[in-house]
Amino acid sequence: MAIAAQNNGLGGGRPGEGAGIANLLFVIPALTLYALFVLWPLASSLYYSLTDWDGIGAPRWVGLANFTRAFADDIHLASYVHVTLYILGTLVFEVSFGLVMAVMLNSDRPGFALLRGLFFSPVVLSMSAAGVLWNFVFDYRTGLVNAMLKGIGLGDWAQPWLSQPATALICVMLVSGWKFAGLYMILFFAALRRIPRSLYEAATLEGAGPIRRFFSITLPLLKQNVLICGLLAVTGGFAGFDLFFTMTNGQPYNSTEVPVTWIVKMAFDSDQLGYGIALTVILTVVVSLISLLYLRFAERSHAVEY
Amino acid sequence: MRSNTEAPGTPRDWLQFGLGAVVVAGMCFPALWMIYSSFKTNREIFRTPYALPGTWHWENLTKAWNEGGLGVLYVNSILVTAASVILCAGFATLAAYAFARLEFPGRRVLYRIFLIGLLLPPPAVAIALFTQLRDMGLLNTLWALIFANAAWSLSITLYLMSGYFRTLKREMEEAARLEGADTFRVFWYVILPMVKPAIITTAILNTINIWNELMFALLFISDDASRTLPAGIVRFSGFHSTNYALVFAALTITTVPIMILYFVSQRHVIRGLTAARAD
Amino acid sequence: MASWTRMRNLAAGVIAAAVLASTFGQRAGAEPVEIRITHSITGGTQKEALDGIIADFEKANPDIKVKQVVFDDDQYSDTGLITQLKSATPPDIYFQWAGFPMQRDAKEGFAKDISAEMDADGWKDSFLPSVWSPSMGMLYEGHPYLVPMTLDVTNVIWFNKKIFAEDGVKAPATWDEFMAAVKTLAEKGETPIVIGNQELWPLGNWASHIASRVVEPAHYDAAFKLQEPFSQPGFEKALTLIDDLRKAGAFNKDIAGLGADPAMSTFFQEAAAMHPIGSWLVPSANEMAEKDFDYGAFNTPLIDPANPTKDSVIGTATGFAVHAKSAHPKEAIAFLKFFTRLDSQVKWAEAGSFSPVKGAMEQAKLDDKTKQMADMLSHAGSLVPPPDTTYPVAVAESYYQAAAYVAGGEKSPHDALVWLDEHVKAMK
Amino acid sequence: MAEIVFDKVAKDFGGGPVVRDVSLTIPEGEFCVFVGPSGCGKSTLLRMVAGLESITAGEIRIGGKRANDIPPAKRGAALVFQTYALFPHMTIAENLGFGLKIRGAAKAERDAKVLGVAKDLELDGLLERRPRELSGGQRQRVAIGRAMLRDPQVFLFDEPLSNLDAALRVHTRLRIAKLHQDTGRSMIYVTHDQVEAMTLADRIVLLNTGERTAREGSLAQIGTPLELYHHPRSLFVAGFIGAPRMNFIAARVVEAFFDRMVAETASGLRIAAAVCADGIKIGDPVTLGIRPEHVTFGDTLAARVLNVERFGDSSLVYADCAEAKEPIVARAEGGTRLKRGDAVSFAFPAEHVHAFDAQERAVPRSVDPLAQ
């Protein structure tokens, strides 16, 4: 990720303006806010993570004990497996689905704009409202899904969707897809609009059908967007909390436990703030490492140009 | 742009539209179901889950509004969102300009530090931030959410904005500078009007995010008087989980206005999102 | 304290009571002193009763104003209380659960030792004597730190009388009868027991009650203090009982993911025959059940006649603590004395709470269900507190998780205990 | 009082010198054109005058004052950008008046001045429009108007015509020339187009690029357009100035007298050149050059016509021969009957032949067309 690298022109040390200390004034408001509410808690996390602390008494120094515990905590470890599965799911249900819909709804004919607007609309909904709503949809006894199955004579297929490990995580992924596919659709749609129409015309003249055009023009030209959306999905996935909190809260049998739900449980439900903070430190390291690797990969493939 | 010149209504277009419409209808049904179910009685919802209400019970809405204290939630959400978005947009625009165009000590390092926030998930500091806000005496105040949300939106806003700044031609600023404008006036008279589209874009993205933010709201606010909508809805549905009609009514009240707002300003929202790179 | 998170706002608990009227001299001409009291009673009859008592108190003591700071329950136990206790201007009085939370507050110096106040004017004796037994958790190192407020039964088995009658089932007295009843109900196509175990405590509380009836008290205590492994015959038997229930088809299919409140509503909608939950079901029933809905309750049936706590009830006490840094401790005590006066407590009991003050329950006009609860408590041989108010919450939650595995058929009782020991090992 | 002096000016962005060792004086009122291939630093040099680019070494003096540390706005220079750099969110009137506003002029004064310049430039009907509603030529006039309103000591133009079509280019060129006559101000004009350079300049500064900059500094040659045309100092200058390019033929010296030299190509063809033969030794390798307009049809060099470009008033004949790698170009009359494949024979009048030594330096000519 390149920084504002070219510093010719105005950046290049203008005559008569000294070292540009005054220019710092432009950055200071943002920096203050950022330092107070992002950097400082991040730094203090490092301290608290080395203590045993219930949030009430004084923190007691325990060295690396919290980290030892974290790596022996089977639910904590499993939560990373779950979040990985969830991220893979979001790549399918959010990113890929959004891409397909972007292509399908890419038309100037009347009606398509309305479809795009409707398709995007769940993005505007709050996650908590979405979670509450979908709980009612998936409810075993009275939910919409099972009621529909019964309605079409498939009552035997009715499942306790959110209560069995085999389906609970998938349900969360589906809702996640429902909620966010629209966002990716719009991002891809915008990118599609930037592809010169002449490329498609040239390909059509060469005899390429719609599917071939998609794979040999659309997809390669959207590579950069796909990679950026992928990064959004990955970092967003690790931060995922709202849907899990409102839909399953980690259950059944911790099969939908993700790092954040487990952290909140440990810190606040179980009054172990020190341990919870240690888990946040681990989460931070994991996410940063993955993001950096991802960016390195993306940079190497020359797809992400900043 | 596609198709204005093509003959309308070829079978393939109809197929494309039909498929799209089916998917979109499927996506919208749960929300519609929620809306019309909010006018049913609880019994009706269980007995005939997807039928329309026999009689429309408008009183469900007033009951939910009163019991959920939704008015307060609305006001709080609006205050928090507006203040955070404005704070973030102002600070990030200033900083993005400096990072893209000005020279000052520590520029590269500071920019990288800001970019860290792009990759960090907010839960990474949630607990430490909680204790810090408590020490600052900000817990249970809207300021806790305003500062936290604004700070956590800075990185992405700054990143998008400085990317946008780099697409702007330097000549405008150089011209203004030659005319005698100092750095601040270049920013105010030339830059700010030109980056307005980008500010609107990022503000829209931030509005959606902050309006829906749940975790900070759950952790930092325990007082009814300063709760925001997402946390309020979770709490309300917990209390009344036995009363589907009432929960649906509350969900309808809280989501329908924002949906209407979205559809009214839809062109702008989408144009904003899609203008993220060009012009 | 996940298990206590929801119930506060729904309503009260169980018990009996007494009173002590306190007179308190007025200081003429002084500015009114404001005392702040924080709790998590957000609404319902209990809140009305509390508001009424506060109004009476302010009328009787014009120089004292009482300000309530109210949180909902999740918030109160997760973050709301912690925040206030550590603030520069802490509340004068705060609501707290007896047992582990109270003892932590005492140890950290948040709660005031109220021995002297309790001893004066026979205040202490106005409460039921059982309140002061060490297992109730009102004491820290022998000194009282909480003014008892309510006693909650955290688990009895509520049953639908109509379904029981239709299927020819009676409220069981022993575990065998209970199993037979479950089997009969299951054969008739009913859901015998509905539990919404998404938050683990609804089954967890009951499972620990069952364990306390099977495991020797010393071993039970040692295991939860992580001094002994859970993998021992007693716990395995306790979980096997739950496993037997599962095998008999006792539980609703969506037990693992269902919320506690939807489960309650399932019971009210007569979609299940039994529902093990706390005493706070009573006030909810008035709001949510249909008019013709009739239900009763029985305690967890007799399992092992040899166990010293064979006829125990599982429950916990709650109370008000005075903050050690309160600027107005005298006024705070004055209010608490007023609150625990017999006449106040009668109102409190009539609002659906189980007053710990002598005579209050007797004098109050109570509905049948509340009376039944009170009877059950008075006949109980002992009171067992739920583990998540007595032991470190993380350990209690882990045990609840093990019980959830068994009830869902995910793990055998043995495997669940092996998992449990493995899981808690890291916490030592 | 706006003489501009470059004193050993250099610029380095960190990847080697872009501009090196530029010493040059532009007297007041001169129209000076910086020209050179892309990457030669001509724009950088201009922006250093404007103050938009810092000076790595040396100094620039404007009106006798060291300008290195004077902020851009105080240098009395107005810059017209290639992209016009009009503010898109302001009307034309606001664009024109922006500088006056920044400098604190009263509104009435501002309006009057803006209107005056707008009338001059025939922009008075467009004042309420926004830049995107204007054509390229109109936008360029606004940019020039903005510069005029500054009433600068020196006008700077950075490739101002390159975004315009051919007809507009000629038109605007004339307007700029008129501006120069009317104001009498110094002007520095950057372009890569030698036609603009030749037509506008009092003096041309031709800049080196790349490795040549490192070797001999940025300045390839300074002089009037005709000096550069007739007396190029180097092979590079000779090749850059003049269109079509000068023809070059490699040869070896066989005879050298006072004012004349004869060289022989590898194939044995002998060509004479009117140059001062002082330092030339028999056997030295030389490159001979002759401009297409000076090639005549004779019997020296046999070639075969590749292509004929007809302009009406004249034609260009491209012909292949054994002696040069590139085709020889000759200007013929408009009605020439030559066509592709025809055999043709050229002659090179000695008074028009240039010679360059092994170091690509020009051998001084012994005839001076400028003296006549």
In a domain, C178, yes or no: yes
Q: What is the mean pLDDT of chain D?
A: 89
pLDDT digits (tens, 9 = 90+) for D215-255: 888 889 999 999 999 999 999 999 999 888 999 999 999 99
Whether A16 has its CB under 8 Å from any CB of chain D: the answer is: yes
Between A73, A141, A269, which is nearest C266 by CB?
A141
**pLDDT, position C428:** 67
pLDDT digits (tens, 9 = 90+) for D329-354: 999 998 888 989 999 999 999 999 99
* C-alpha–C-alpha distance, residues C50 and D257, integer Å: 125
Mutate to test the interface with B, among D46, D47, D49, D52 (most CBs of B within 10 A): D52
Helices B266-274, B196-211: crossing angle, 10 deg rounding: 110
Cβ(B154)–Cβ(B91) below 8 Å: yes
Residue D278's Cβ-count burial label (10 Å; 0-12, 13-18, 19+) is exposed
Tell me how many domains chain C contains.
Answer: 2
Q: What is the mean pLDDT of residues D357-366?
A: 91
Q: Are residues C109 and C166 in the same domain?
A: no
- Nearest Cα residue in chain A from D71: A16
- Nearest Cα residue in chain D from A18: D69
Q: Are residues C168 and C240 in the same domain?
A: yes
* Chain-centroid distance, C-alpha A35: 24
* C-alpha–C-alpha distance, residues C349 and D295, integer Å: 121
As annotated, the residues of chain D forming the CATH 3.40.50.300 domain(s) are 4-235
Q: Are residues C281 and C391 in the same domain?
A: yes
Q: What is the mean pLDDT of residues A293-303?
A: 69
* C-alpha–C-alpha distance, residues A217 and A214, integer Å: 6
pLDDT at C8 over 60: no
In a domain, C10, yes or no: no
Residue C265's Cβ-count burial label (10 Å; 0-12, 13-18, 19+) is buried
pLDDT digits (tens, 9 = 90+) for C256-295: 888 888 888 888 888 899 999 888 777 677 667 777 888 8
Which residues from chain A sit within 8 angstroms of residue C410, using beta carbons?
165, 252-253
Contact yes or no for D72 and A9 at CB 8 A: no
Q: Are residues A266 and A143 in the same domain?
A: yes
Beta bridge partners of D266: none
**pLDDT, position B7:** 46
Q: Whole domain around residue A6: which residue ranges?
A: 2-48
Q: Are residues C88 and C42 in the same domain?
A: yes
* C-alpha–C-alpha distance, residues C114 and B112, integer Å: 56
Residues of B with CB under 8 A from a CB of C: 46, 130, 134, 137, 139-140, 219-224, 235, 238-239, 241-243
Q: What is the mean pLDDT of residues D14-22?
A: 83
Cβ(D299)–Cβ(D340) below 8 Å: no
**pLDDT, position D344:** 92
Q: Are residues A17 and A75 in the same domain?
A: no
Q: Are residues C250 and C326 in the same domain?
A: no
pLDDT digits (tens, 9 = 90+) for A68-93: 888 888 888 889 999 999 999 999 89
Q: Are residues A191 and A266 in the same domain?
A: yes
Which residues from chain A sit within 8 angstroms of residue D69, using beta carbons?
15-16
Q: Do chains D and B touch (3 or more CB pairs under 8 A)?
A: yes
In a domain, C96, yes or no: yes
pLDDT at A215 over 80: yes
- Nearest Cα residue in chain B from A273: B127
Question: Which three-class secondary structure state does DSSP give residue C193?
Answer: strand
Contact yes or no for D53 and A9 at CB 8 A: yes
Which residues from chain B sit within 8 angstroms of residue C87, using beta carbons?
134, 137
Strands D31-35 and D186-191 come out as parallel
Cβ(C195)–Cβ(C276) below 8 Å: yes
Question: How far is the alpha carbon of B92 from chain C, nearest alpha carbon, in Å?
Answer: 32
Q: Are residues C349 and C257 in the same domain?
A: no
* C-alpha–C-alpha distance, residues D274 and B154, integer Å: 73
Winning range, highest mean pLDDT, from A165-169, A207-211, B116-120, C402-406: C402-406
Centre a 10 Å sphere on the Cβ of residue D254 and count the other Cβ atoms it contains: 13
* Chain-centroid distance, C-alpha B224: 22
Helices C44-60, C342-350: crossing angle, 10 deg rounding: 160
Whether A13 has its CB under 8 Å from any CB of chain D: the answer is: yes
pLDDT at C30 over 70: no
Q: Are residues A130 and A241 in the same domain?
A: yes
In a domain, C90, yes or no: yes
pLDDT at D285 over 70: yes
SS3 sequence, chain D?
Answer: CCCEEEEEEEEECCCCEEEEEEEEEECCCCEEEEECCCCCCHHHHHHHHHCCCCCCEEEEEECCEECCCCCHHHHCEEEECCCCCCCCCCCHHHHHHHHHHHCCCCHHHHHHHHHHHHHHCCCCCCCCCCHHHCCHHHHHHHHHHHHHHHCCCEEEEECCCCCCCHHHHHHHHHHHHHHHHHHCCEEEEEECCHHHHHHHCCEEEEECCCHHHHHHCCEEEEECHHHHHHCCCEHHHHHHCCCCCCEEEEEEEEEECCCCEEEECCCCCEEEECECCCCCCCCCEEEEEECHHHCEEEEEEEEEEEEEEECCCEEEEEEECCCCCCCEEEEEECCCCCCCCCEEEEECCHHHCEEECCCCEECCECCCHHHC
**pLDDT, position D362:** 92
Question: How far is the alpha carbon of B174 from chain D, nearest alpha carbon, in Å?
Answer: 7
Between C108, C200, C255, which is nearest A57 by CB?
C108
Mutate to test the interface with C, among B41, B45, B241 (most CBs of C within 10 A): B241
Tokens for A42, please give them.
Answer: 């991040």
pLDDT band, residue B124 (cuts 50/70/90): confident
Tell me how many domains chain A contains.
Answer: 2
Number of CB pairs, chain B paired with chain C, less than 8 A apart: 52
Q: Are residues C84 and C161 in the same domain?
A: no
Contact yes or no for B176 and D87 at CB 8 A: yes
pLDDT at C161 over 50: yes
pLDDT digits (tens, 9 = 90+) for B70-123: 888 989 999 999 999 999 999 999 999 988 888 888 888 898 888 888 778 788
pLDDT band, residue C23 (cuts 50/70/90): very low
**pLDDT, position C120:** 84
Mutate to test the interface with A, among B19, B28, B85, B125 (most CBs of A within 10 A): B125
Contact yes or no for A16 and D70 at CB 8 A: yes
Q: Do chains A and B touch (3 or more CB pairs under 8 A)?
A: yes
* C-alpha–C-alpha distance, residues C95 and C112, integer Å: 13
**pLDDT, position B1:** 39
Q: What is the mean pLDDT of residues B161-182?
A: 84
First to last CA, chain B: 16
Q: Report the C-alpha dihedral over residues C253, C255, C261, C265, rounded to 10 degrees.
A: 20
| Residue C183's CATH number | 3.40.190.10
Q: Whole domain around residue C96: which residue ranges?
A: 33-152+317-375
Q: Are residues A225 and A259 in the same domain?
A: yes
| Residue A236's CATH number | 1.10.3720.10
Q: Are residues A201 and A247 in the same domain?
A: yes
Dihedral (CA of D305, D310, D312, D315) sign: negative
pLDDT at C115 over 90: no
Q: Report the C-alpha dihedral over residues C30, C36, C41, C45, rounded to 10 degrees.
A: 0
Q: Are residues C274 and C161 in the same domain?
A: yes
Q: What is the mean pLDDT of chain B?
A: 82
Beta-carbon contacts of A17 under 8 Å, excluding residues fewer than 6 positions away, are B183, D71
Residue C263 host element (H or E): helix C260-268
Question: How far is the alpha carbon of D99 from chain B, nearest alpha carbon, in Å?
Answer: 5
pLDDT band, residue B27 (cuts 50/70/90): confident
Is the preceding peptide bond at C202 cis, omega within 30 degrees of 0?
A: no
Is the preceding peptide bond at A29 cis, omega within 30 degrees of 0?
A: no
Between B171, B172, B179, which is nearest D73 by CB?
B179
In a domain, A59, yes or no: no
Domains of chain B: 63-275 (1.10.3720.10)
Q: Are residues A110 and A251 in the same domain?
A: yes
Between B130, B134, B242, which is nearest C265 by CB?
B242
Q: What is the mean pLDDT of residues A227-255?
A: 83
Instruction: Produce one character per residue of B80-90: b if its CB has 16 or more CB atoms within 10 Å, e if not.
Output: bbebbbebbbe
Q: What is the mean pLDDT of residues C341-365?
A: 84
pLDDT at C16 over 70: no
Contact yes or no for A15 and D13 at CB 8 A: no
As annotated, the residues of chain D forming the CATH 2.40.50.100 domain(s) are 246-371
Number of CB pairs, chain A paired with chain C, less than 8 A apart: 94
**pLDDT, position C110:** 87
More confident residue, C370 or D132: D132
**pLDDT, position A54:** 73
pLDDT at B37 over 50: yes
**pLDDT, position C13:** 26
In a domain, C12, yes or no: no
Which residues from chain D sit within 8 angstroms of residue A13, using beta carbons?
54
Q: What is the mean pLDDT of residues D38-63?
A: 88
CATH number, span D246-371: 2.40.50.100
**pLDDT, position A11:** 38
Q: Do chains A and D touch (3 or more CB pairs under 8 A)?
A: yes
- Nearest Cα residue in chain A from B211: A126
Contact yes or no for B241 and C261 at CB 8 A: yes
pTM of the predicted structure, to 2 decimals: 0.76
Question: Which chains sit next to C, with 3 or more Cβ pairs under 8 A?
Answer: A, B
**pLDDT, position D142:** 92
Between C259, C394, C410, which is nearest A253 by CB?
C410
pLDDT cut 70: percent of chain B above it? 91
Question: How far is the alpha carbon of A166 from chain B, nearest alpha carbon, in Å?
Answer: 23
Q: What is the mean pLDDT of residues B258-262?
A: 79
**pLDDT, position B274:** 59
Q: Are residues C277 and C362 in the same domain?
A: no
The residue type found at D123 is L
Which residues from chain C sit within 8 angstroms of residue B222, using beta carbons?
71-72, 75-76, 78-80, 83
pLDDT at C74 over 80: no
Contact yes or no for A253 and C401 at CB 8 A: yes
In a domain, A162, yes or no: yes
pLDDT at A56 over 80: no
Q: Are residues C260 and C127 in the same domain?
A: no
Mutate to test the interface with A, among D47, D54, D55 (most CBs of A within 10 A): D54
Among the four given CATH numbers 3.40.50.300, 3.40.50.720, 3.40.1210.10, 3.40.50.280, the one describing domain D4-235: 3.40.50.300
Cβ(C184)–Cβ(C33) below 8 Å: no
Q: Do chains D and C touch (3 or more CB pairs under 8 A)?
A: no
Contact yes or no for D99 and B169 at CB 8 A: no
pLDDT at B230 over 50: yes
The residue type found at D190 is V
Between A160, A265, A271, which is nearest C254 by CB?
A160
Residue whose entry in the numeric block shows the structure tokens 């938050």? C199
The radius of gyration of chain C from alpha carbons, rounded to an integer in Å, stands at: 22
Which residues from chain B sit within 8 angstroms of residue A121, using beta carbons?
28, 31, 259, 262-263
Question: How far is the alpha carbon of B185 from chain A, nearest alpha carbon, in Å?
Answer: 13
| Residue where a domain stops, chosen among C350, C375, C400 | C375
User: Lowest-confidence range among B71-75, C179-183, C205-209, C267-271?
Assistant: C267-271
DSSP, res C167: T
Contact yes or no for C427 and A254 at CB 8 A: no
Residue whose entry in the numeric block shows the structure tokens 């009170």? C374
In a domain, A61, yes or no: no
pLDDT digits (tens, 9 = 90+) for D298-337: 888 889 999 999 998 999 999 998 888 889 999 999 888 8
Question: How far is the alpha carbon of D53 from chain A, nearest alpha carbon, in Å?
Answer: 6
Alpha helix (H) residue ranges in C22-149: 44-60, 73-75, 81-85, 100-108, 115-119
Q: What is the mean pLDDT of chain C?
A: 82
DSSP annotation string for C307-341: STTTTEEEEEEEEEEEBTT-S-HHHHHHHHHHHTS
pLDDT at B40 over 70: yes
